[in-house]
Amino acid sequence: MSEEKKYYTKFVSKKFSVGANIDKTVGVDCINVQGDFVHEIADILAEQFKIDPANIEC
């Protein structure tokens, strides 16, 4: 697991007080977010961290 993904997970978890973890069950590392702000989090990840929106699934 990359340090970058750990950072994103901690950032999302603290900023929005939601559950966030790295999920490896789909064969690819992904950040799984549980809570009310999923769409807002997707927007922030795309804008602030320059993550391609095509790589974000809500």
Give me the sign of the Cα torsion angle 30, 33, 39, 40. Answer: negative
Give the Å distances, CA to CA, from 23 to 9, 12, 47: 11, 15, 22
Structure tokens at 21: 């973890």
Rounded CA separation 42/24 (Å): 19
| pLDDT, position 26 | 67
Q: pLDDT, tens digit, for every residue of 1-51?
A: 578 888 888 888 888 888 888 888 767 778 888 888 888 888 888 898 888
pTM over 0.85? The answer is no
CB atoms within 10 A of CB 20: 20
